[in-house]
């Protein structure tokens, strides 16, 4: 017998038919009159994370929201990650109440400052000074021809036809694929990312569960006494040299590896081995090398580490 009950899946299942842990972000955009709007969002996740020429987030929102309509017009937004404290979350819930922008924005409690992407573009919204990080984004309006949607067509929702992934996706729904133009980070957390994190260097973040009833928005505060704990990932199993030799001999006709070179790869997880070997071959070809020894692997590793460091700056 199953230890679970089969729960009916209804609209907004992530908050009505389940307990789904979510981040809380406040999205700033520019209204048609040039003023600032901020709406609160949780359905906002990484979308393109690697292997594309740009990185992107996905935002799911109501198409009648100010945020959606501003994004359709300006294509720009800033995703402000708010730190966890009661007052800040209260302000996020206030900014999450549907209605005209001017009404809620006149009592805004957040301090704002200029972002860093395209400083002269008036459509680039300011960012929340107390955010621990901010993603400055541009909507990928060209994907799925989503630039055809017009704010003027939204009244009581949008009459359609709808897109599947990007733009207006249902009568009241919208999805936005948002290219990440810049990640702004507070210095303390910047240092942690660049120099290595420890249990004291994580920003306090709220985890929210959405609206569970018609009166409350539920969330768990960051545990103040219990810091984040590190759970070690399994130690990579050493692969025997023969199987690495088998793969290395098939990577390229002209570039070969010595056993000493291959010993460097015994801890590389199997799914990444071919990529690592291909990387070495590419380097060898660029440098007219036909035999990769331990010495060449060290040079390649140093070069990769230097590139990684440069990317972090
Ligand atoms: C913490 C929090 C998270 C929310 N997440 C979402 C969300 O992911 N998508 C959505 O459509 N509405 C979400 N809402 C409701 C929106 O904030 C609400 O529709 C609001 O009117 C949006 O503001 P805007 O019209 O200024 O964009 C959330 C509200 C709160 C308080």
Residue with the smallest CA separation from ligand 1 atom 26 is 39
What the block records as the tokens of 246 is 């088998």
**Of 179, 197, 180, 175, the residue nearest 188 (C-alpha):** 197
Residue 257 CB–ligand 1 contact under 6 Å: no
Render pLDDT for 261-308 as a digit per residue (tens, 0 to 9): 999 999 888 888 889 999 999 999 999 999 999 999 999 999 988 887
Q: Is the CB of 15 under 6 A from ligand 1?
A: no
The string of pLDDT tens digits covering residues 17-39 is 999 999 999 999 999 999 999 99
Distance CA 86, CA 204 (A): 12
pLDDT of 235 above 80 = no
For the stretch 175-225, pLDDT in tens is 999 999 999 999 999 999 999 888 888 999 988 888 877 778 788 877 766
H or E, element range at 246: helix 241-249
Give nearest CA residue, ligand 1 atom 15.
96
Instruction: Report residue 97 as tokens.
Output: 């109440």
* Least confident window among 69-83, 145-159, 219-233, 252-266: 219-233
Cα 189 to ligand 1 centre (Å): 27
Work out the percent of the chain whose per-residue pLDDT is above 90: 76
**Contacts of 83 by beta carbon, 8 Å cutoff, 6+ apart:** 130, 131, 132, 203, 204, 205
pLDDT for the residue numbered 236: 66
Q: Is the dihedral of CA 39, 40, 42, 44 positive or negative?
A: positive
CA 122: distance to chain centroid?
Answer: 25
Entry pTM: 0.86
Q: Which residues pair with 280 in a beta bridge?
A: none
Query: Directed axis angle between helix 241-249 and helix 270-286, to 10°?
Result: 50
Helix 294-312 crosses helix 270-286 at what angle (to 10 degrees)? 100
- Could you read off the pLDDT of 52-111 as tens digits, one per residue? 999 999 999 999 999 999 999 999 999 999 999 889 999 999 999 888 999 999 999 999
């Amino acid at each position: 017998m199953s230890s679970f009950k089969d729960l009916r899946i209804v609209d907004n299942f992530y908050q009505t038919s389940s307990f789904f842990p979510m981040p809380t972000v406040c999205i700033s955009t520019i209204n048609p009159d040039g003023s600032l709007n901020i709406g609160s969002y949780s359905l906002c996740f990484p979308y393109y994370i690697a292997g594309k020429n740009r990185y992107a987030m996905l935002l799911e929102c109501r198409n009648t929201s100010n945020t959606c309509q501003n994004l359709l017009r300006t294509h720009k937004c800033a995703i402000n990650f708010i730190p966890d404290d009661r007052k800040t979350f209260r302000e996020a819930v206030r900014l999450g109440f549907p209605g005209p922008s001017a009404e809620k924005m006149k009592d805004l409690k957040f301090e704002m400052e200029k972002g860093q992407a395209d400083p002269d573009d008036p459509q680039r919204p300011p960012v929340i000074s107390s955010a621990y990080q901010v993603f400055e984004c541009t909507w990928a309006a060209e994907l799925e021809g989503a630039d055809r949607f017009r704010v003027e067509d939204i009244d009581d929702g949008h009459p359609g036809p709808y897109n599947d992934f990007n733009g207006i996706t249902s009568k009241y729904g919208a999805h936005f694929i948002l290219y990440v133009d810049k990640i702004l980070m507070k210095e303390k957390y910047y240092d942690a990312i660049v120099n290595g994190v420890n249990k004291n260097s994580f920003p306090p973040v709220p985890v929210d569960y959405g609206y569970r009833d018609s009166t409350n928005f539920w969330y768990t505060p960051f545990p103040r006494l219990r810091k984040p704990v590190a759970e070690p990932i399994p130690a990579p199993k050493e692969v025997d040299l023969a199987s690495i030799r088998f793969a290395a001999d098939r990577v390229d006709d002209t570039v070969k590896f010595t056993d000493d070179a291959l010993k460097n790869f015994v801890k590389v997880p199997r799914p990444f081995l071919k990529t690592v070997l291909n990387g070495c071959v590419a380097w060898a070809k660029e440098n007219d090398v036909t035999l990769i020894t331990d010495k060449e692997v060290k040079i390649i590793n140093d070069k990769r580490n230097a590139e990684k460091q440069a990317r972090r700056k």
